Amino acid sequence: MTRPLVEVEGLARRFDVSRPWLARLLAREPRRFLHAVAGVDFAIPRGTTMALVGESGCGKSTVARMLVGLLRPSAGRIVFDGTPLDPDAGRKALAPIRRRMQMIFQDPYASLDPRWRVEAIVAEPLDAFGLVRDRAERRERVAELLRAVGLSPADGRKYPHEFSGGQRQRISIARALASRPDFLVCDEPTSALDVSVQAQILNLMKELQEQLGLTYLLISHNLAVVSVMADQVGVMYLGRIVELAPADELFARPRHPYTRLLLDTVPDLEMRRRERAPVAGEVPSPIDPPPGCAFHPRCPFAERRCRAERPALLPAGPARVACHAVEEGRLPA
Amino acid sequence: MALLEVEDLVVEFPTRRGRLVAVDRVSFSIEAGEVLGMVGESGAGKSLTGMAIIGLLEPPGRIAGGAIRFEGRRIDDLPPEAMRRIRGRKIGAIFQDPLTSLNPLYTIGRQLEETIRTHLDLDARAARARAIALLREVGIPAPERRIDAWPHELSGGMRQRVVIALALAAEPALVVADEPTTALDVSIQAQIVQLLKRLCREHGTAVLLVTHDMGVIAETADRVAVMYAGRLVELGPVEAVIRRPRHPYTRGLMGAIPRIGAGKGRLVQIEGAMPRLDAIPPGCAFHPRCPRAVERCRLERPELAPVGPAHAAACWRLEPEPTG
Amino acid sequence: MTAALRRFFDHDLWWSFTRSPLTVAAALVTLLFLVAALAAPWITPHDPFDPARVDLLDAFTPPVWTERGDPRFLLGTDDQGRDILSTIVWGSRISLLVGFAAVLLSATLGVALGVSAGYVGGVYESVVMRLADVQLTIPGILVALTINGVARTLVPRELQEAAAIWVLVLAIGISDWPKYARLARGTTLVEKNKEYIAAARVMGLHPLRIMVSHLLPNVIGPVLVIGTIGLALAIISEATLSFLGVGVPPTTPSLGTLIRIGNDFLFSGEWWITLFPSLALVLLVLAVNLLGDWLRDAFNPKLR
């Protein structure tokens, strides 16, 4: 079996959210940490899409930012195509790997420098990694990239504000593709877009994946989007993966109570108008997560063990689930 | 007589390069106790329609034509003071960002009590009791304690519950809810939608629910109005519009929504993007993106015309009614 | 080129400019001063600094419209017989030169420190910004006087005359950087969390390159605004220092020097020697200030 393109082991990140030193001293407070990501493992096979889903504050974006080097992991390691990423290596040493992993961002209005022409934006990675020899080649490559995302080469002369949200997201994708990466981290790529445009972008992402053999990590809060894009899904809650499963399996047979809750909240377009059991509670603060299983205060199946002991991510059929109730087989199927 | 009647409403923005028409001859009505969903993409004019009804259009935006009648009385030409009395007492409002709807300088209890006493003839103790009852009704745990909390001490979902309590405080006949769930997490969204639905049913309050999320409409609304480029393109019972959309835009929109269980196939997509307000094409505004467009669509604007029971669409080239 | 021109005239900035007569007047006055200052050697009726052409017998000639006026000297002459109009034009030249150079220095210094502080953060940011805070608590003119004094003791005596202008630029420039640093840091803090900066970081660009090519352009607009107001302030600072006698030497007088020289004769009846340079200074500063105010309002989306 070939090795996965991306492997993540025990990845963790904590943020120091202590008050300033003097205030802390006066109030006799200890330092406080927010464990945004508290140990996450997964692997993404080449040419497939892995999705991380969860609500705000679950740590999915932090994982994405660590993968592309925007944030330093506090612990754990990232292995890319067999090479472990050393965060202490210099900029130059990391460049060959950086070239191969790029990112698409959420807000198409903030992800393009408003003062740059589109051609300069798309060409930025070409210059950054020294991928073109002269201006002619640069122009040719930019035109090719713009065409690949469904824009015209003439659009390169314009500025970002002349484009709609969907077109801007295309420009953002063209920029991400400029360095011919293998791996794209897509952080909520369509959540700022209207539905009809979202469909265009999702279709484009699929086409590009087929043509270029891209591997995606898709960060999303929208389960329906994940269901049409992902091969593998990790459900995150308060910094941990609570269920990791092949997409078909996850949507057909959700195991973890939180996964079930999330699926239950997806609005029903089939108009069955079911009266749902209202989902109680909200996500607790990640600074002070509940002991044991972090989901237990909202979980209808919680028992004493759930309040005391944190469940490990254990195999359950083709999935892996972190839940005592699933492990003990006391959940209705 | 309908509770709210909107007739040929036009909202425009004068700019130095001419007038931008953001809402273009929109007509619809809401019956007492009914939930009308208004759906469309950003810039379709749905929020402006809501704002025009509650008299909160941001200048330089202004109502340039048509009439809005509430309980049979015109309200679009009322002086600001008279409109303010109607707003709050008769028409409540819920906005996308609960933080902007709450004054950060007052406790939620004070804001609730103030609203209650402004509109209902109650003394301080009765108002407080009513405020606590309202908070309990919108599902805030321990309302006796939470009533003295400041807005910033509450989570987004809790704040939106307070905003709903505020909107309902004076028992209005109509609530205009503009993207009430968009800023919230998915599990909280479901809670808020359920809450809104239950409260309005219990109180017999009519709702104009403005949202871009067809899922929220499907779960909540009785009827739905679909807007495109400032115009109403389809209006009908929610089931008919969602299951048997007749306007090509609505149909495209429904096909573009990803659905769980539909597999990993290609999504239906509508080519292009909605035109900017300064570049709305002549004829049917949708024709450049419409797979069914013919010459007539380029020249003549279609008006909303009946296509079924209580169902209307503005299109020269209606999608065929699905058989079976 | 024509496309760029068309864009300029189509721009909201140009539109709001043509809508404000006061601003147009201020711009014309400023332009007049700039042109006069640049073209001083060719347009002044006399060369006030050529000892061979100045006649002491012409000293204290009042303006032309008074009884003893001389048609050669429109605004009269000073104690050495120099033509006041010409000295004003030459003086504005010095004042504007010092003003522009000082603003350039303080803006460059402030922007470099502010952008880097905002982007890098941490201890470096604290040190830079606390330094700015401390300097802001001391009156600018005091800082300038101190720097001026220190610089003068360091410059060899024989070079002092020639270096005076640049010492002045240094003094005024350094006294004014914290304003620019605060502004640049504020703008940087807003921009650095935007995703296009993240995109540049994902490409592994050097921080310096990110600062120069992405962050700096955002700072330029606001800096231009306070730089314009800063120019007026720098001209006043220069005039103040020169008036106090620690500015440019009387042989190459600025507006401030002229006012000081004239001041000695104010009570002996030769009012024109100080009045006209003062009026010129007020007019120049007012015009530049009005221009700055308009720029600030035009750039402020809340007021549009």
- Give C221-254 pLDDT, tens digit per residue: 889 888 988 898 898 888 888 888 787 777 778 8
B193 to chain A: closest CA residue = A267
Radius of gyration of chain C, Cα coordinates, nearest whole angstrom? 23
Nearest to C201 among A70, A95, A101 (CB): A70
Q: Nearest-CA distance from A86 to chain C in Å? A: 14
> Can you give the pLDDT of all 324 residues of chain B as single tens digits?
789 999 999 999 988 778 899 999 999 999 999 999 999 988 899 999 999 999 988 888 899 999 999 999 999 989 988 998 888 789 999 988 777 788 888 999 999 998 888 888 889 999 999 999 999 988 888 899 889 999 888 888 888 889 999 988 888 999 999 998 887 887 788 888 888 888 888 889 999 999 998 988 998 899 999 999 999 999 999 999 999 999 999 999 998 999 888 778 888 888 888 888 888 999 999 999 999 999 999 999 999 999 999 999 999 999 887 664
Interface mutation target, options B227, B257, B268, B271, chain A, most CBs of A under 10 Å = B257
Residue tagged 């015009």 (tokens): C287
Chain mean position to CA B8: 17
By the CB < 8 Å criterion, does B226 face chain A? no
User: Cβ A103–C198 below 8 Å, yes or no?
Assistant: yes
A79 within domain boundaries: no
Q: Which residues of A184-209 are buried (b: 16+ CB within 10 A; e: fewer)?
A: bbbbbbbebbbbbbbbbbbbbbbebb
By the CB < 8 Å criterion, does A94 face chain C? yes
Q: Nearest-CA distance from C20 to chain A in Å? A: 27
Nearest to B269 among A199, A222, A268 (CB): A199
Quick one: pLDDT at residue A1? 58
Interface mutation target, options A92, A102, A107, A115, chain C, most CBs of C under 10 Å = A115
A175 to chain C: closest CA residue = C199
pLDDT along chain A (333 residues), means of 10: 90 87 81 89 96 91 94 94 88 89 92 92 94 93 95 93 92 96 95 90 95 96 93 95 95 93 81 59 80 90 92 93 92 73
Please state the rounded mean pLDDT for residues C41-49: 78
* pLDDT, tens digit, 9 for 90 and up, residues C179-196: 999 999 999 999 999 999
A328 within domain boundaries: yes
Q: Could you state, in order of their start, the residue ranges of all structural domains in chain C?
A: 95-255
User: Cβ C199–A179 below 8 Å, yes or no?
Assistant: no
User: Cβ C198–A124 below 8 Å, yes or no?
Assistant: no
A252 to chain B: closest CA residue = B261
Q: Which of B156, B157, B321 is nearest to B251 (CA)?
A: B321
B198 to chain A: closest CA residue = A275
**Is-contact C141 C240, C-beta < 8 A?**
yes
**Is-contact C157 C104, C-beta < 8 A?**
no
Q: Give the count of beta carbons closer than 10 Å to the beta carbon of residue A36.
A: 23
Quick one: pLDDT at residue C1? 43
- Interface subset of B 154-183, CB within 8 angstroms of A: 155, 157-158
Please name the chains neighbouring A, where neighbouring means 3+ C-beta pairs under 8 angstroms.
Answer: B, C
A299 within domain boundaries: yes
Q: Nearest-CA distance from A258 to chain B in Å? A: 10
**A95 neighbourhood in chain C, CB within 8 Å:** 204
**Is-contact C240 A161, C-beta < 8 A?**
no
* pLDDT, tens digit, 9 for 90 and up, residues A129-162: 999 999 999 999 999 999 999 999 999 999 998 8
User: Cβ C195–A115 below 8 Å, yes or no?
Assistant: no
C206 to chain A: closest CA residue = A91
Q: What is the DSSP letter of B35?
A: E
Q: Residue B39: CB partners within 8 Å, gap ≥ 6?
A: B46, B211, B212, B213, B214, B217, B224, B225, B226, B227, B253
C95-255: CATH, from 3.30.420.40, 3.40.190.10, 1.10.3720.10, 2.40.37.10: 1.10.3720.10
A127 within domain boundaries: no
Query: Could you tell me the residue range of the domain that residue A276 belongs to?
Result: 254-333
What is the count of structural domains for chain A? 1
User: Cβ B41–A196 below 8 Å, yes or no?
Assistant: yes
